[in-house]
Structure 1
Amino acid sequence: MNLFHQVVNWMSRFWNVMTVGPTIPSMYLDKRIENDKDYGMNLFKPNVDACMSWLGGKPKDSVLYVSFGSFASLGIEQTTELACALKSSNVYFLWVVRETEMAKLPYNFIEEISEKGLVVAWCPQLEVLSNEAVGCFLTHCGFNSTLEALSLGVPMLAMPQWTDQPTNAKHVEDVWRIGIRAHSNEKGVVRRETIERCIKELLTEVGEKGKEIRKNSIKWKNLAKKGIDEGGNSDKNIDEFIAKLL
């Protein structure tokens, strides 16, 4: 699987470039390495039991998973807009809000959304994304999160914040066509109406664009598995690289 074929083709004019991956634990794709279920480390302690038991009772493709990763920090205004959009959309949602960010949530928000939403400080993201209840991932488009969602076939609602994230969001929406970017206004804030509209397209009132995104998400999931499976491009490239070293 070559996510950046134009870049790789250009680089190949100057160096012998070989691509590998996607580099996510084997049990989520080819299942060739027994018990390879995680990366072996977490920056924060995930609330595994609460997340997975909550997801366990939800219908297929009904949950919006929301996470801005381990570093991105939303302003108070953006946090409020997102919270209001989640509440108004009336969808099931699992929102990762780090302990340092909890104070930005609107007053009494967690209590008010208890029937529809779950807010946790951290979660086992691969387990969540691979759960059939999750139908969409609202993400900052950090590369790890983007690659995981792509590999697991989860459509994305992109809200990039900084560094490489706008570029990743561009690929999500316009190159791989597996999601929608929620664009900010002149103040750099994505308004609740914009977020709600994107949630409808991807999760609750799926139109033609949403159907195409879901179809493309499954296509890339299959390509990811094929790429690292025995005989796939990644598998062959690793063998070729080792052979050259030996």
Structure 2
Amino acid sequence: MAAAESHEAYLESQSNAVNNIYYHVHQGKLKLPLSNTQLLLPGLPPLAPHDMPTFLYAFGTNPAFRNVLVDQFSNIKRADWVLCNTFYELEPEVTDWFMKILPAVRTIGPTIPSMFLDKQHEDDKGYGFSIFKTDKEACIKWLDEKPNGSVVYVSYGSVAVLDGEQMEEIAFGLRNSGSYFIWVVRASEEEKLPKDFLNASNEKGLVVTWSPQLQVLAHEAVGCFMTHCGWNSTIEALSLGVPAIAVPHMSDQSTNAKFIMDVWEMGIRASVDEKGIVRRQAIENCIRELLESDRGKEIKRNANKWKTLTVEALDEGGSSNKNTEEFVAKLVYSGSD
């Protein structure tokens, strides 16, 4: 029997828009440091410098990490498959452009458990791991008691570290909005909460050290998601039809926030002051706009549109489904030689 044919596959875990940006840096077509002019790249809308990943815009921050992200393209053309955690309908122009440059590119996302989307696999209910311990029962029980679309879910992910001033502004923005909220505050961050905030907010809010995010976002009580715009959180919100309040912190999050507001139109970006702080009034305004205004209703309709398109992409015959089937079929065929 002949030896099985070997293949090499890459998995891209950021959006194709962000991959495009780093590709152009690698090719020397996007010079660093960036100029303070509008940036035009193929397949992308016009981008201001602050819409770029922070490792490029704030040049000099985390150079080692920037180099890793840029250098991923040094040998990518040798790959038989470049699998991207996005779906074609979400990023058609930039995906088309990438496939001309890198024919191996295939969109296979979002890589979210099936039972939250297409429901083709009954045993696919979670990612199979959690960075921190969650209290799923407490979160879902609390949500079950709240009206549909009434809860603000707040999470800055597993890495972002906020200073005490920003934590205070979030706390009072949530309280002043008058809305119900679930706020994920990691154990290492709890000491930054304002004094007596938890006691004063226990009727309206639930503060947890970690949450079962997919289950929370899928719950009908959740009306919007205040997020740092990491790609996983971004595509989870979009896939589950939850409008976003974009508060980017670092890396690709600024670019994701740009697309959330201006391209996909499924959220709004919170304004920051001269210190880069999102103030309590801005937070309150964003919450009220998404949960109470006519614009918020339109954004919700857009979010639901993306939810529908996500399911279609993963369902039988959809764009991501066909790409995944093609990939698996090739592996099976090669292994049977």
Amino acid at match of 2:170: L
Q: Which has more radius of gyration?
A: 2
Partner secondary structure for residue 95 of structure 1: strand
Counterparts in 2 of 1:65-84, with a 5 A limit? 65-84=153-172
Where does structure 2 lack aligned partners over 5 or more consecutive residues? 1-86
Which residue in the other structure is 1:227 paired with?
313
Whether 1:238 and 2:307 are equivalent positions in the alignment is: no
Q: Supply the distance in 2 between the matched residues of 1:30 and 1:243 (Cα, whole angstroms).
A: 21
Identity %: 56
Equivalent pairs, count = 244
Write the deviation string for residues 29-75 of structure 1: whole angstroms up to 9, x where unpaired: 01111121110010100011111110010000000000001011111
Aligned to 1:183, which of 241, 246, 271? 271
Whether 1:133 and 2:221 are equivalent positions in the alignment is: yes
Aligned to 1:165, which of 232, 246, 253? 253
Which residue in the other structure is 2:236 paired with?
148
Aligned to 2:137, which of 26, 49, 60? 49
Amino acid at match of 2:96: N
Which residue in the other structure is 1:7 paired with?
94
Whether 1:85 and 2:165 are equivalent positions in the alignment is: no
Between 5-14 and 157-166, report the one with greater CA deviation: 5-14
Aligned to 2:110, which of 2, 5, 22? 22
Which one scores higher on RCO, CA 8 angstroms, separation ≥ 6? 1
Where does structure 1 lack aligned partners over 5 or more consecutive residues? none
Amino acid at match of 2:268: I
Partner secondary structure for residue 18 of structure 1: strand
Cα displacement (A) at 1:194: 0.8
Write the deviation string for residues 61-107 of structure 1: whole angstroms up to 9, x where unpaired: 00000000101111110000010011111100000000000000000
Q: Supply the distance in 1 between the matched residues of 2:179 and 2:229 (Cα, whole angstroms).
A: 21
After TM superposition, the score normalised by the length of structure 2 is 0.71
Cα displacement (A) at 1:241: 2.5
Amino acid at match of 2:200: E
After TM superposition, the score normalised by the length of structure 1 is 0.97
Q: Supply the distance in 2 between the matched residues of 1:232 and 1:110 (Cα, whole angstroms).
A: 46
